[in-house]
Amino acid sequence: MTTTDTARGPVIAGLGITETGKVYGRSAADFAADAVRRAAEDAGLALSDLDGLLTSSGVSTGVGLSLQSQLGLRDLRLLSEMQAYGSTAGGMVQYAAMAVRAGMAEAVACVFADAPLKEKTSTGAAYTGAGLGTHGWAGLTAAAGMMSATPRYAVAARRHMDTFGTTSEQLAHIAVAQRAWAGMNPRAQFRDPITVEDHQASRLIAEPLHLLDCCLVSNGGVAVIVTTAERAAHLRRPPVHVLGWAQAHPGYPMHRGSDFGLVSGAAQAGPEALKMAGVGIDDVDVAELYDCYTFTVLLTLEDYGFCAKGEGGAFAASGALAPGGSLPVNTGGGQLSSYYMWGMTPLSEAVIQARGEAGERQVPRHDVVLVSGNGGCFDHHSTLVLSPHPHA
Amino acid sequence: MTLPVVHRDVATELFFDATARGELLIRRCADCGAHAAPQSDACPDCRSTEATWVPAAGTATVVSWTVAHSRAGAAETASALLELTEGPWLYAPLHGLRDGERPWAGMPVTVAFERPDGGETLPVFHPAV
């Protein structure tokens, strides 16, 4: 690597997390602006130091190009709204990393915000029907019972169970482990411990998925500032280096032979991102994995190669993911228990762990932090490899 | 559980004309002859965009499935990801299961058609007899 490569190596230099959860009376755009201000402040940058802005909306939409004027940002050199659902956060960091490395921008804010929760409306109502219409092919799919993400993930999980013998109790261990981590995260919305029995007794939403297999829903916003190692050296916080990245979008055919439910884009993107970072899967100290459902974590673990294909259930049930286990996973509680900010949930916890600022839940080794994003129903995947060190 | 109402759009006109007369249409590639799901724009084998509509046999097997539950905990609707005999996959409601009966991967099913008031005729599948 040349000196210039090292100097312009991309880092995350700022993290901003707003209040999250049942926080009412604020729009998604307001949360986004708040998150960017917090991230810039965290980095020790003025808003006027930002020359790039990438935005990402959730279901409530409205986090777009107008955020520039809302924040009063002038003369930006990079501005775009991005959308690959739960893989967007990783995608924004990748785009920003390439921009700063190329010299196209110096300091890029990447922000996600959403405000789907309304007072006196259930969490489920906030998401049911999102994105699916009553017309044409989308209407036909909705009429088949696929009117939200949950039944589609249920069908995927069932296929994995039928193929590999994965059980609901094994999925429960993922929820239980993440809740144990959440108990040590002051930001987590759900912190009371749960057991496998609690999971099994929680109501079925769409078989085989129980309530405790599903993520929560939050209002709020999260932003990170991506800049160069050179610039970050003079900033307030310890830089988190972005050493490797990749995306994968499988494009599952709706046809005989499709491996939907059995293999995700993590199988392609994980090894590519690790190779870019110059590390192997055994070097990963902590993994922050997209967890819209417990099953998403299980499939991602297999596809990254933390265990053999089909053995994700046994791996989870071994206790490996929980505090004290061999592979700390979703150490802030994840979207199942802490806050649901799509790909920003695993990314924000990864930054906190890489900095060594996770307090009671800090993992002892955090030299290599693997982060996943997942969008659609395993349709879109992003991987990031982060480290407090400039080289693996 | 009654089926939701679905309306046609330009892309689904021929498909819903066919369901109304009791046919399930799928795509057949004009170049290589491979079958594709009705909503496919390109052949899954050769990527050709030249395709014709052909009626499917109406037989399929269950690839995977789910049963949605009400807030009160009752099992309500069964849905399946199906593999038509011709190869394409389709999400469809699964009717005709006995109380407490669950589908299984590989379960043979056959198509039937139901028309909710005010909407298009929809394909639903039943266990093959």
Q: What is the pLDDT of residues A22-39, one digit of tens each?
A: 999 999 999 999 999 999
Superfamily holding A146-216+243-392? Thiolase/Chalcone synthase (3.40.47.10)
A290 is catalytic: yes
Residues of chain B with pLDDT under 70: 1
**Taking the complete model, does pTM exceed 0.90, yes or no?**
yes
pLDDT of A79 above 60: yes
Average pLDDT over residues A258-265: 98
CA distances to A111, A240, A385 from A9, in Å: 21, 11, 13
pLDDT of A340 above 60: yes
Residues 25-54 in B contacting A (C-alpha not used; CB under 8 Å): 36-40, 44
Q: Residue A127: what pLDDT?
A: 66
Q: Residue A234: what pLDDT?
A: 93
Q: Residue A391: what pLDDT?
A: 84
Contact A197, A343 (CB under 8 A): no
Residue range(s) defining the domain that contains residue B97 = 10-127
Contact A153, A209 (CB under 8 A): yes
Residue B18: inside a domain: yes
Residue contact B4–A142, C-beta within 8 A? yes
Number of independent structural domains in chain B: 1
Residue B42: inside a domain: yes
Contact A199, A175 (CB under 8 A): yes
Pairwise CA distance, residues B78 & B93, whole Å: 6
Residue B3: inside a domain: no
Residue B30: inside a domain: yes
Q: Which two tokens stand for residue A354?
A: 């890489």
pLDDT of A129 above 70: no
Contact A18, A42 (CB under 8 A): no
pLDDT of A124 above 90: no
Pairwise CA distance, residues A356 & B79, whole Å: 46
Q: Which two tokens stand for residue B95?
A: 């009717």
Q: Among candidates A48, A362, A383, A45, which has minimal Cα distance to A228?
A: A45
Rounded-to-10 torsion of CA A353, A355, A358, A361:
50
Pairwise CA distance, residues A220 & A115, whole Å: 6
Tell me: the pLDDT tens digits for A370-381? 999 999 999 999
From the list A144, A208, A261, the residue facing B91 with the nearest CB is A144
Residue B66: inside a domain: yes
Tell me: the pLDDT tens digits for A281-330? 999 999 999 999 999 999 999 999 999 999 999 999 999 999 999 999 99
Helix, strand or coil, per DSSP, at residue A303: helix
Q: Residue A121: what pLDDT?
A: 74
Pairwise CA distance, residues A107 & A97, whole Å: 10
pLDDT band at residue A2 using 50, 70 and 90 as cut-offs: low
DSSP state of A156: H
Residue B85: inside a domain: yes
Q: Among candidates A297, A376, A281, which has minimal Cα distance to A331?
A: A297
pLDDT band at residue A16 using 50, 70 and 90 as cut-offs: very high
CATH 3.40.47.10 intervals, chain A = 3-117+218-229, 146-216+243-392
Give the number of A-B residue pairs with CB atoms closer than 8 Å. 115
Residues 185-204 in A contacting B (C-alpha not used; CB under 8 Å): 203-204
Q: Residue A1: what pLDDT?
A: 54
Task: Bin A116: left if φ > 0, else alpha if -120 < ψ < 50, else beta.
Answer: alpha
Residue B4: inside a domain: no
Q: What is the CATH number of domain A3-117+218-229?
A: 3.40.47.10
Q: Residue A61: what pLDDT?
A: 86
